[in-house]
Amino acid sequence: MSTRTIGIIMNGVTGRMGGNQHLRNAIAAIRRDGGVMLKDGTRLMPDPILVGRNEERVAAAARSAGVEKWSTNLDGLLGDPAYPVYFDAVKTDARVGNVHRAIEAGKDIYTEKPTAEKFEDALGLYTAAKAKGVRHGVVADKLWAPGMAKLRMLLQSGFFGKVLMVRIEGCYWVFEGDLQPAQRPSWNYKRAEGGGMILDMMPHYYYMLEAMNGRPLDIVCHADTLVGERWDEKGEAYKADADDSVMSISRLEGGAMAQIMSSWCVRVRTEDIIVMQVDGTHGSAVAGLRHCHAQRRESTPKGQWSLDVAEPVDFYKDWHQIPETAPYKNAFRMQWEMFLRHLVEGGEFPWNLRAGAAGVQYAQAAEESWRERRWIDLPAVAA
Ligand SMILES: NC(=O)c1ccc[n+]([C@@H]2O[C@H](COP(=O)([O-])OP(=O)(O)OC[C@H]3O[C@@H](n4cnc5c(N)ncnc54)[C@H](O)[C@@H]3O)[C@@H](O)[C@H]2O)c1
């Protein structure tokens, strides 16, 4: 069996997503398991080189993942033909310039979302990649979380009939940082540093909705900063001025109504941190990141609707859990494997810079709708 290597420049791996998900859970795990199996039986082995601004931190990231190569010289690496792929998981507001330089250098691109802070810049990345003829992919990990994958399988089977409504709730409490350390970096809560719930989460919700009933056609949104004081990584208090809570509605291309409720200021008393419910004429299903429960038309109970007696119907009872038939892999790893196969075997890769730009367009429209207190239409991003 032959093995082929593929050189990947990985930027942003000293951070939370780059280090945990992309480096350790995806690329290092693929290497440990002997690479990605291609159709012709060849094994495609990622050959990563880590890049960062701080020598000590990038060397530590390399050690933690058993990677031998690292550098602080991004420009030097962009000129090195041994590395045809550039991966970017840096802080959102530092992404566009790096990705443009990588495209200009002829690298294939794989990047975290949002691809930019502004739609114009996100579109610029797509246009530049197209003009240069490089291949490109954007992280859409939620699609391969086991619960969401089960929901997509139900859709594919025709289980829902006509999809009527899609609701997403993505809420949890992010610690302020005084009593307990915050779970997310402080830049997320500062507007000037590319933070905010809208920019962080609407690109995810865009592809999740699109997967269920076609792209959102429009949006009306309200957002706010509910927790105004937080404490940073050094324990210093700062003013949080980025939106931390969002509510929005959209119409989907397939005709369904969509609603999003997303907040870092809500304590969880549901199944999971992200929950998506799809209601259709023939059945409904609710998925968290891991599990998915479904209820058919025939097993839909009738509630009593009485204020005088306690509801006799147990509404949880008539849902059945979709069984776990596959040993699910880490969602980031699954998408990496698909992207690496795409680079060698060709074919479509729909989660690309065009899709990434549509996600940023959705976020920007949400922001505009909120600021201007009006509905915003979303023209399709041209291919
Ligand atoms: N797919 C997902 O589910 C998901 C979840 C969270 C975050 N993200 C995205 O991943 C990206 C990183 O988020 P994170 O939570 O890992 O942040 P982080 O702060 O933990 O990491 C940021 C990384 O960017 C680097 N960096 C910061 N400023 C830079 C600059 N000026 N130039 C070059 N590098 C710089 C840091 O050194 C670090 O490696 C963001 O774009 C975020 O939106 C994606």
Query: Which ligand 1 atom is at minimum distance from the Cα of 57?
Result: 37
Give the predicted TM-score (pTM) of the model: 0.97
Closest CA to 232 of 179, 172, 182: 182
Task: Report the 10 Å Cβ neighbour count for 227.
Answer: 16
Average pLDDT over residues 282-291: 98
**165 is written with which tokens?**
């409504």
**317 contacts 301 by C-beta, under 8 angstroms:** yes
Summarize pLDDT for 106-153 with one digit per residue, the tens.
Answer: 999 999 999 999 999 999 999 999 999 999 999 999 999 999 999 999
**270 is written with which tokens?**
């549901």
Please indicate whether residue 97, judged by its CB atom, sits closer than 6 Å to ligand 1.
no
Summarize pLDDT for 266-280 with one digit per residue, the tens.
Answer: 999 999 999 999 999
- Predicted confidence (pLDDT) at residue 44 exceeds the cutoff of 80: yes
**366 contacts 198 by C-beta, under 8 angstroms:** yes
Please indicate whether residue 140, judged by its CB atom, sits closer than 6 Å to ligand 1.
no
- Predicted confidence (pLDDT) at residue 237 exceeds the cutoff of 80: yes
What is the DSSP secondary structure assignment for residue 178, as one 8-state letter? S
More confidently predicted of 311 and 125: 125
Instruction: Give me the sign of the Cα torsion angle 169, 364, 366, 183.
Output: positive
Query: Which ligand 1 atom is at minimum distance from the Cα of 12?
Result: 39
Summarize pLDDT for 45-99 with one digit per residue, the tens.
Answer: 999 999 999 999 999 999 999 999 999 999 999 999 999 999 999 999 999 999 9
Please indicate whether residue 91, judged by its CB atom, sits closer than 6 Å to ligand 1.
yes
Please indicate whether residue 356, judged by its CB atom, sits closer than 6 Å to ligand 1.
no
Burial class (CB in 10 A: 0-12, 13-18, 19+), 369: buried
**Spacing, Cα 71 to ligand 1 middle (Å):** 18
What is the DSSP secondary-structure string of 207-243?
Answer: HHHHHHHS-B-EEEEEEE----EEE-TTS-EEE--S-
For the domain made up of 142-327+360-377, the CATH class stated in words is alpha beta
More confidently predicted of 1 and 235: 235
Summarize pLDDT for 149-166 with one digit per residue, the tens.
Answer: 999 999 999 999 999 999
pLDDT band (50, 70, 90) for residue 104: very high
Second-level CATH architecture of 3-140+331-352: 3-Layer(aba) Sandwich (3.40)
**Spacing, Cα 80 to ligand 1 middle (Å):** 24
**264 is written with which tokens?**
């870092």
Closest CA to 112 of 356, 315, 365, 379: 356
Q: Compute the 3-state secondary structure of the chain and give helix, strand, coil in percent, each to the nearest 5.
A: 35, 25, 40
Average pLDDT over residues 300-308: 89
Closest CA to 349 of 143, 119, 149: 143
CB environment 145-158: b (16+ within 10 A), e (fewer): bbbbbbbbebbeee
Cα–Cα distance, 354 to 182 (Å, whole number): 33
Average pLDDT over residues 195-214: 98
Instruction: Judge if the upstream peptide bond of residue 114 is cis by omega within 30 degrees of 0.
Output: yes
Domain ranges of the chain: 3-140+331-352, 142-327+360-377
Average pLDDT over residues 206-234: 98
- Please tell me the predicted confidence (pLDDT) of residue 305: 83
For the chain, give the percent of residues with pLDDT over 90.
Answer: 96
Please indicate whether residue 60, judged by its CB atom, sits closer than 6 Å to ligand 1.
no
Ramachandran category for residue 194: left, alpha or beta (phi over 0 → left; psi -120 to 50 → alpha) = left
Average pLDDT over residues 13-25: 97
- Predicted confidence (pLDDT) at residue 1 exceeds the cutoff of 80: no
Query: Which ligand 1 atom is at minimum distance from the Cα of 14?
Result: 39
CB environment 32-66: b (16+ within 10 A), e (fewer): eeebbeeeeebbbebbbbbbbeeeebbbbbbeebe
Summarize pLDDT for 323-363 with one digit per residue, the tens.
Answer: 999 889 999 999 999 999 999 999 999 999 999 999 999 99
Query: 323 CB contacts (<8 Å, ≥6 apart)?
Result: none
pLDDT band (50, 70, 90) for residue 306: confident
**50 contacts 23 by C-beta, under 8 angstroms:** yes
- Please tell me the predicted confidence (pLDDT) of residue 128: 98
**Packing angle, helices 197-213 and 146-157, rounded to 10:** 30
Average pLDDT over residues 221-247: 98
**Spacing, Cα 294 to ligand 1 middle (Å):** 36
- Predicted confidence (pLDDT) at residue 371 exceeds the cutoff of 80: yes
| Widest CA span in the chain | 74
- Please tell me the predicted confidence (pLDDT) of residue 282: 98
Average pLDDT over residues 238-256: 98
Specify the residue with its C-alpha closest to ligand 1, atom 21. Answer: 15
- Please tell me the predicted confidence (pLDDT) of residue 48: 98
Query: 143 CB contacts (<8 Å, ≥6 apart)?
Result: 149, 152, 207, 208, 211, 331, 335, 351
| Helix extents (H) in the chain | 16, 29-32, 55-65, 74-78, 95-104, 119-132, 146-157, 197-213, 331-345, 353-372
